Amino acid sequence: MKKIIILLVSLLLLTSCSTHKEKLILATEAGFAPYEYYSSGEIVGVDIDIAKKIADYLNKELVIKDVAFDSIINEVKTSKSDIGAAGISYTEERSREVDFTVNYFESRQIIIVKKDSNYTGIEDLENSTIAVQLGSVADTYLSDNNSNINVVREKKFLAAIQDLKDNKVNAVVMDEIPAKKLIDDTMIILDKELVTDSYGMIVKKENTELLEAANKVISELKESGEIDKYMLIHMGLEEEKTGNNSFKDKLYNTIIYDQRYKFILEGLKNTLLIALGAVIIGIFLGTIAAISRNIYENTNKLKILSLLSKAYVNIIRGTPSTLQLMIIYYVIFKQTSINIVIVGILAFGINSGAYVAEIIRAGISSINKGQWEAGYSLGLGYSQVMKRVILPQAVKNILPALGNEFITLVKETSIGAYIGIVELTKASDIIASRTYDYFLPLILIAIIYFIITFSLTKIVDKMEKRFNNARN
Partner 1 sequence: MLEIKNLKKSFGKKTVLKDINLIVNKGDILGIIGPSGCGKSTLLRCINLLEKPNGGEIIFENDNLVDNKSHIETRRRIGMVFQQFNLFEHMTVLENIIFAPTTLKIMKKDDAIKKATELLKEIDLFDLANHYPSELSGGQKQRVAIIRTMIMKPDIILFDEPTSALDPEMIGEVTNLMRKIAKEGMTMIIVSHEMNFIKNFCTRVAFMDNGIIKEEGTSKQIFENPKCEELKKFLSKINNY
Which residues of the shown chain bind partner 1 in the complex (CB under 8 A)? 368, 370-371, 373-381, 384, 388-389, 392-393, 471-472
Beta strands in 249-398 (DSSP E): none
What is the Cα–Cα distance from 394 to 396, expressed in whole angstroms?
A: 5
* Least distance in angstroms from the C-beta of 308 to partner 1: 25
Nearer to partner 1, 315 or 378 (CB): 378
Burial profile 265-295: b = 16 or more Cβ within 10 angstroms, e = fewer: ebbbebbebbbebbbebbbebbebbbbbbbb
* Least distance in angstroms from the C-beta of 366 to partner 1: 12
CA-wise closest residue to 164 among 132, 136, 195, 140: 132
CA-wise closest residue to 32 among 163, 135, 151: 135
Nearer to partner 1, 164 or 389 (CB): 389
What is residue 408's three-state secondary structure?
helix
* Least distance in angstroms from the C-beta of 397 to partner 1: 12
* Least distance in angstroms from the C-beta of 385 to partner 1: 10
Nearer to partner 1, 179 or 389 (CB): 389
* Least distance in angstroms from the C-beta of 445 to partner 1: 42
* Least distance in angstroms from the C-beta of 284 to partner 1: 25
Helix axes 261-299, 439-471, angle to 10 degrees: 40
Nearer to partner 1, 242 or 299 (CB): 299
Nearer to partner 1, 335 or 377 (CB): 377
213-to-76, 95, 162, 217, 221 alpha-carbon distances in Å:
16, 18, 39, 6, 12
* Least distance in angstroms from the C-beta of 368 to partner 1: 7
Phi, psi torsion values for 184, nearest 5 degrees: -110, -175
Nearer to partner 1, 150 or 365 (CB): 365
* Least distance in angstroms from the C-beta of 396 to partner 1: 8
> Cβ(214)–Cβ(10) under 8 Å?
no
What is the Cα–Cα distance from 128 to 150, expressed in whole angstroms?
A: 6
Nearer to partner 1, 120 or 384 (CB): 384
How many CB atoms lie under 10 A from the CB of residue 117? 16
245-to-37, 100, 373, 429 alpha-carbon distances in Å:
22, 42, 72, 20
412-to-190, 284, 460 alpha-carbon distances in Å:
41, 19, 18
Nearer to partner 1, 244 or 472 (CB): 472
Q: Which value, in Å, is the radius of gyration of the alpha carbons in the chain?
A: 27
